[in-house]
Amino acid sequence: MQSLRPRIWKLNVHGNEVSALDFEFDIKRSLKPSQNTSEVRVYGLSAARRKALCEVPGGALVELRAGYAGGLGPDIGEPFDVTEPPPVIFLGRVRIVRAQRQEAEWLTVIT
């Protein structure tokens, strides 16, 4: 029986790395000469981590990596290499970071 590869992701905003939490992202890419944009939504950050992210200056570097453990990886039945980082799917600059209460948890939005 084939096992599913676990999804992994990492977000780095101006040296603040976030992973292993619930998140969503929306990346808009274009062939036009305009810039690509993204919006990353992270749920459940601690107060200290939210504060650190909200204090990040505009124009700071944002790197989003996402994929599956082991990348394209080994053949079926072989162990996954979870130390291999997932590929970069967005690299850009911060415009705004905001945190807001959403029902029972905190939502941090990075655009």
pLDDT of residue 35: 84
HSE at residue 109, side-chain half, CA atoms within 13 A, is 10
pTM metric for this prediction: 0.79
Main-chain dihedrals φ then ψ at residue 53, nearest 5 degrees: -70, -40
Q: What is the mean pLDDT of residues 66-75?
A: 66
Residue 20 pLDDT grade (very low, low, confident, very high; cuts 50, 70, 90): confident
Residue 32 has pLDDT above 80, yes or no: yes
pLDDT of residue 1: 45
Residue 91 has pLDDT above 90, yes or no: yes
